[in-house]
Amino acid sequence: MSTKKNNNKIKKKKKSLAFKISMGLLFVLLAILIIGGGYIIGTLSKMEQTKINTENLGIAEDEFEQYKNANKITNIALFGVDSLSGEGGRSDSIMVATVDPVHKKLKITSIMRDSYVYIDGYGQDKINHAYAYGGPELAIKTINENFGLNIENYATVDFSSLPIIINLLGGIDIEITSDEIEYINEYINHLNSLEGTSSANIYSPGVQHLDGIQALAYSRIRYTAGGDYERTQRHRTVLDALFNKILKSPVTSYPALLNELLPYVETSISTTNILSLATDVVSIGNNLEQDRFPRDGYAEGANIDGIYYLTFDIETAKQQMREYIFNDVKAD
């Protein structure tokens, strides 16, 4: 693949936000407990707080009778929106953050953005189009109706602050493979030209200490053999490294990190609910687990009317996701 062709693809992903909203929400929950209530209540006002109609989120209450722990587990939709304003854009990243005090786990569930699902009022389409069609409310409804979940709140981010946060933390360590080096350097060079930075290229495989620009470049790679599947795995790899780095960071660094991050967050979660969730997060500790749906081996790409979709059996994916989120059942 030529460099020119790669650069064209890179430009199309210029505002890609990938996994970053998950990092933001988890960081907020952890920081709240460590810093203390008085400071945090004032800081949380920097987030854009919104309201959604909870009666229109596609939650089928009768479906949860078989999951006795469902009412104890909190699920939050996380969206990374590919739009300068954060309004009306497609959700480039779709994840579900699960705070599970029953099994003592934090879970991040990635949903493949090309998943071919039913969107109310629009028929079958890519799941990432739901946000563009009807904002966070329709996007949540689409997730709930297709995967049988009980999501009532969301957090959305459209920002380029990932490099800032990682640099404030002193960078993260990521293992780079030989087939990723060509692509990561193209993204590093492109991001340097956009941001006026001078992050170095990566010249050898193995564990590398990445700065913010390098980590963002790594998270955007999608043209290796694994395609979008490997790309979502890179998101989770960076998230895990960042999560662990945050846990090890001194308390004194948290105010600066929050001040950088919170202005980029839009959420329907109230300050009271955030503080309540934070109590559960502290009781869980650093037990973070991640999965993605549809799972490998249960989906295939299909060209429908000239457009690429990821097709799969929705009932199988629904059952697997619910078992994972509510009953902590892992993949076979």
User: What is the CB neighbour count within 10 angstroms for residue 200?
Assistant: 12
CA 197 to each of CA 72, 234, 319: distance values in angstroms, whole numbers, following the listed order: 45, 23, 46
d(CA 280, CA 101): 6
SS3 173: strand
pTM above 0.85, yes or no: no
Tokens of residue 139, six digits: 């996007």
pLDDT of res. 39: 55
User: What is the CB neighbour count within 10 angstroms for residue 122?
Assistant: 13
Lowest mean pLDDT among 121-130, 225-234, 294-303: 225-234
pLDDT of res. 77: 93
Domains of the chain by range and CATH? 3-11+162-248 (3.40.630.190), 15-160+264-327 (3.30.420.590)
pLDDT of res. 198: 95
Tokens of residue 292, six digits: 């993605």
pLDDT of res. 255: 72
More confident: 275 or 8: 275
pLDDT of res. 159: 46
Lowest mean pLDDT among 78-92, 124-138, 151-165: 78-92
| Contact present, 278 and 29 (Cβ < 8 Å) | yes
pLDDT of res. 197: 92
Q: What is the pLDDT of residues 213-231, one digit of tens each?
A: 998 888 878 766 556 667 7
Q: What is the pLDDT of residues 76-86, one digit of tens each?
A: 998 876 443 34
Mean pLDDT, range 273-300, rounded to an integer: 82
More confident: 160 or 21: 160
Q: What is the pLDDT of residues 8-37, one digit of tens each?
A: 444 333 333 334 444 455 555 445 544 444
Cis peptide upstream of residue 163 (ω within 30 degrees of 0): no
pLDDT of res. 228: 65
Which of the residue ranges 3-17, 136-150, 173-187 has the most confident prediction, judged by mean pLDDT?
136-150
**Can you list the alpha helix ranges (DSSP code H) found in 204-290?**
212-220, 227-248, 254-261, 271-284
Local confidence band at 299 (pLDDT 50, 70, 90 cut-offs): very high
User: What is the CB neighbour count within 10 angstroms for residue 134?
Assistant: 19
Which of the residue ranges 11-15, 139-143, 219-223, 234-238 has the most confident prediction, judged by mean pLDDT?
139-143
Crossing angle of the two packed helices 212-220 and 227-248, in degrees rounded to 10: 150
Residue 57 φ/ψ, nearest 5 degrees:
-115, 10
d(CA 295, CA 293): 5
| Contact present, 96 and 112 (Cβ < 8 Å) | no
pLDDT of res. 85: 37
pLDDT of res. 283: 76
Lowest mean pLDDT among 78-92, 158-172, 259-273: 78-92
pLDDT of res. 224: 62
pLDDT of res. 184: 92
Helices H / strands E in the chain, number of each: 11, 13
